[in-house]
Amino acid sequence: MFGLLFFFFQAEDGIRDLVLSRGLGDVYKRQGQGLLLIEDAIYAATKGSTAEAAIRAACGNMKVYALQPDMDARGVTAKAIEGVTLVDYSGFVDLVAQYSTSNSWL
């Protein structure tokens, strides 16, 4: 089992960029952790986003995932950053089972 799985998502209020001050800076520095981007936070996992550099850095230190159905629904699947693993809903469940602890940030 891995250590900790973090979920980052944003409310459906038109926000399109991950707010990096909400903990991502500290999260990606730790080994044995996972990061799953869901809902509007998936925009952070796309080429050209304001969070692209932070997500690329996170990929070097931890496993980074994005929920593919959310990317498909927003039409950005083709813009996924290399190193980000796309997962479906059953993959989401597998990640929750794989990591011993899960935390969620809005």
pLDDT by position in tens, the chain (length 106): 344 455 554 444 444 444 444 444 454 444 567 889 998 889 999 999 999 999 999 898 889 999 999 999 999 999 999 999 999 999 999 988 888 777 776 5
What strands lie across the sheet with 33-37, from one edge to the other? Answer: 84-87, 63-67, 33-37, 2-8, 99-105
- Give domain limits for the chain: 2-8+18-99
In this structure, are residues 81 and 59 in contact, taking their beta carbons and an 8 Å threshold? yes
Tell whether domain 2-8+18-99 is in CATH 3.40.1260.10.
yes
In this prediction the pTM is: 0.74
